Structure 1
């Protein structure tokens, strides 16, 4: 599982997103952006954050460190903001911590990454069906002159259908990806070559290692997926099916 720490102080909310993440200090001497299990998007968003973020890291893409942060109940008692207090109370237990990169600033296109890096990020988003990397919402940071990827909760949309529909890796494998609004689309070059290089690294063992990092209590079982092990296997099966079918989703190079 992800390494774990315990929150010791709630610092401030971040009101830029709908899920109201917050900054906390933890007993590992770290400062983390906490994504809460009690937010409206639910636990599956945290699962997508871990799987896509850790897969990206394994492929050499810069993603801030992730950690499971235990939120104790006393923290909520000392929060004056009623909305935040309700969120903290609903989120007692394991939440997702994203390393706060001190001094990082939001990507605005003024310091674009190299074309090869842009292609890697575009490929990861297309592969995992992440629609949330647009000029309106880049979900990129610039830190020490490098581009870092954050916020992958909108990826792996197929999991949201599991409560009412049996998993279908083939359906996900065939789903096209619209890259026209991707913020790095004009910069990326040799997307096909990037696929050839990165897809060779996406093996069953790598995907199993990444999926195994998800805390078991975040995995929601269903009629078709009755155990945590079967839920983990379903994520692996969907990603293996998709990586084997690039003709359906891989963006082409711009002319």
Structure 2
């Protein structure tokens, strides 16, 4: 099994905000000379969306989906001082420290459900994975998929695991199905759901889940307002994913019925 090696880079240049994203990510340059889409810890959903983005992205990669490289990105306070836009100034101020970056896919085009297609297995893997991680944000309105070099790339998993916005009730989500799958942008093309589920079970093992969750920066898991500490949250993410995997047949049937 490939060990998960997440690089940490420093932001050296803030280039431009991506205003189409609700959390206003930005294109930045890092000290490795690559460009990244930077997801800010100081955005509306904060560190929780970074955790969702990270776990969702690495699970997608583990099952063979195309995902841009994810890196941890250090942001210093100096960028705020040269930024004229007050809204961006605030975002930079509250995002000093460790953020998440996705390798920028230059020239990629947004997936358009009216003209874009995905092969049945790829579409099915995305649908089943999004059911497992309760990703409510892969709809025709906002596909969060890109085409790059004639391949489908999965981005933006930040709306997954929405149970973590209220830790007091998180266990009530464990046995729920995912009716939102009826709105999934790839549902009609996902004609190999059972085969995709079998593939996912092969690659998303307890070891792989634990490896991914262990890599979440401690700092992202600490919050004075939450009732769980960092270790308890890690255990919760692992339990959530393994519980969903144990009911994958139910989730597949729900998606098939929705089709």
TM-score interval (norm. to shorter)? over 0.9
Cα 1:111–1:94 change in 2 (3 A) is same
Structure 1 position 132 matched with structure 2 position 134: no
Structure 1 position 116 matched with structure 2 position 121: yes
Which structure 2 residues correspond to residues 17-56 of structure 1 after superposition, within 5 A? 17-56=21-60
Structure 1 position 225 matched with structure 2 position 225: no
Moved more, 110-119 or 136-145: 110-119
Structure 1 residue runs of 4+, over 4 Å off? 221-224
Distance in 1 separating the partners of 2:94 and 2:181: 36
Which structure 2 residues correspond to residues 167-246 of structure 1 after superposition, within 5 A? 167-168=170-171, 171-220=173-222, 224-226=227-229, 228-246=230-248
Could you tell me how far 1:166 is from its partner in structure 2?
5.3
Structure 1 position 77 matched with structure 2 position 81: yes
Structure 1 position 89 matched with structure 2 position 93: yes
Higher helix share: 2
Cα 1:161–1:254 change in 2 (3 A) is closer
SS in 2 for 1:178: helix
Aligned with residue 252 of structure 1, among 231, 235, 256: 256
Distance in 2 separating the partners of 1:223 and 1:149: 30
Structure 2: unaligned runs, 5 residues or longer: none
Structure 1 position 160 matched with structure 2 position 165: yes
Matched residue pairs, number?
A: 251
Structure 1: unaligned runs, 5 residues or longer: none
Cα 1:230–1:69 change in 2 (3 A) is same
The CA RMSD measured in Å over matched residues stands at: 1.8
Could you tell me how far 1:229 is from its partner in structure 2?
2.1
Preserved CA contact (<8 Å) 1:173 1:243: no
Aligned with residue 60 of structure 1, among 31, 54, 64: 64
Moved more, 123-132 or 108-117: 108-117
Give the TM-score of the pair, scaled to structure 1.
0.93
Could you tell me how far 1:254 is from its partner in structure 2?
7.0
Distance in 2 separating the partners of 1:249 and 1:123: 7
Give the TM-score of the pair, scaled to structure 2.
0.91
Could you tell me how far 1:12 is from its partner in structure 2?
0.5
Distance in 2 separating the partners of 1:178 and 1:143: 27
Distance in 2 separating the partners of 1:65 and 1:173: 32
Cα 1:174–1:237 change in 2 (3 A) is same
Preserved CA contact (<8 Å) 1:158 1:172: no
Distance in 2 separating the partners of 1:199 and 1:224: 32
Match of residue 106 from structure 2: 102
Preserved CA contact (<8 Å) 1:189 1:253: no
Could you tell me how far 1:224 is from its partner in structure 2?
5.0
